[in-house]
A and B are shown apart, each in its own frame.
Chain A
């Protein structure tokens, strides 16, 4: 089948892509757009290294055909920082030592971001559940959980200061 055209928004920017239908969103992000922050781990939805936000919801991009993203909004890890300013979650991961090899990190941060977008003060159990689709082989998850708690506290403080 010839290539098909897809129009979608990636990290806030409208993009028109031409791709073969059998290619996944993960492949298109990494190989066509050079957005290599999203990782290929298992390719079958079991590890979460390929996590992106699709219309704000975390999904395994290895199991989304690029064609299925037509008309949708995709957020990758690259879309979190504002220029040089890291997102509070990214900052918290750095400060808490939640990053070792870094391979799971983009997926972890996006899953956590989706959680905090919906819930201001998640419990530890809710945080662990939110990242239960993201595997980490290095950290044992403890620092990751603390980083998310930290980021939530920081964001709540900032929110109160603003109001």
Chain B
């Protein structure tokens, strides 16, 4: 399969990259791992006249954890996320999702920034990041801005990123004690699979350890973008952590999902939303009690 021709830029600094994007705007695409962009270009779904590779731009691959937050550079690969010790404590759902993305070969190239920017409805890293309340940093010539991830996606393949911007970092607030999360991915095969349904749950128990103080429930592949299920969250907050609340949350999640029936029937998708939501909440509870 041949790529279409393009002009290639390999900036050696973020500033240089941003300058190129400011000049070419819609005609330029940013290239990180290439596992989305180059596939699209080979299929002629994308044909930018300018490709701006981030390979030589330093400082986009660092992962750091402080008491209040975890910051992940946009070029961090799925493989690095899957093996990360920084993420082990309470952020394991992100490592889990990263470890299920594509294949080992894809994971060595695919980046967190690319997965977010490419914005597929079934993008694996998004539900965990939504559940974790992440925000993204978008840099451009004149500075940078931060956007909560829950507001970031507009439609399939569409985000708030402007043509002159680069997504440089993902910031996750450090979960409080008593918080646990889980991620589940449903598909036909165990590798190289686009999710049929995916679910990410994060719950925080109160000091007594019995009731749910805070909850976030995110679903992938069952709407034009990955979504948070507000219905599920409302069913959980204040409730006693356990099967009864999880069942109600699962039913609410199925009401919030709007599968388009692309890869499987909507009826099946909604049934699986319920199953995965219940199971993810059960696992999140176990994780919270550890």
Residues of chain A at the chain B interface (Cβ within 8 Å): 1, 4, 20-24, 42-46, 48, 51, 54, 57-60, 62-65, 67-68, 70, 111, 129-130, 132-134
Contacts and interface: CB of A to CB of B under 8 A. Distances in A.
Nearest to A132: B191
A137 to B, nearest CB: 15
A111 B190 CA distance: 17
A13 to B, nearest CB: 22
B103 A133 contact: yes
Contacts, number: 94
Contact of A133 (B2, B7, B53, B105): B105
Nearest to A56: B108
Contacts of B33: 63
B108 A65 contact: no
B79 A67 contact: no
Given A21-B51, A45-B39, A132-B192, A54 B108 contact: yes
Contacts of B79: 57
Contacts of A65: 3, 8, 31, 34, 38, 51, 53
Contacts of B209: none
Contact of B6 (A22, A62, A129, A130): A22
Contact of A57 (B34, B43, B102, B108): B108
A133 B104 contact: yes
A146 to B, nearest CB: 20
A67 B10 contact: yes
Nearest to A110: B105
Contact of B55 (A1, A45, A62, A68): A68
Interface size range on B against A: 20 to 34
Contact of A59 (B1, B108, B190): B108
Nearest to B6: A22
B3 A24 contact: yes
B251 to A, nearest CB: 34
Among A21, A44, A63, chain B packs the most CB atoms within 10 A around the CB of: A63
A22 B42 contact: no
B32 to A, nearest CB: 10
Nearest to B39: A44
A162 B69 CA distance: 47
Nearest to A23: B3
B97 to A, nearest CB: 16
A21 B31 CA distance: 13
Interface of B: 1-8, 10, 31, 33-35, 38-39, 42-43, 51, 53, 55-56, 79, 102-106, 108-109, 190-192
A22 B109 contact: no
Contacts of A22: 2-6, 8
Contacts of A24: 3, 38
Contacts of B3: 22-24, 65
A70 B106 CA distance: 19
Given A60-B106, A70-B10, 19 more contacts: A1-B5, A21-B5, A21-B8, A22-B6, A45-B106, A48-B103, A48-B105, A51-B105, A57-B108, A60-B105, A63-B34, A65-B34, A65-B38, A65-B51, A111-B104, A129-B191, A130-B104, A133-B103, A133-B191
Nearest to B37: A63
A20 B5 contact: yes
A51 to B, nearest CB: 6
Nearest to A67: B8
Contacts of B102: 45, 133
B104 A4 contact: no
B17 to A, nearest CB: 14
Contacts of B43: 44
Nearest to B32: A68
Contacts of A48: 103, 105
Contacts of A54: 108
Contacts of B1: 42-44, 62
A22 B4 CA distance: 7
A60 B109 contact: yes
A46 B190 CA distance: 13
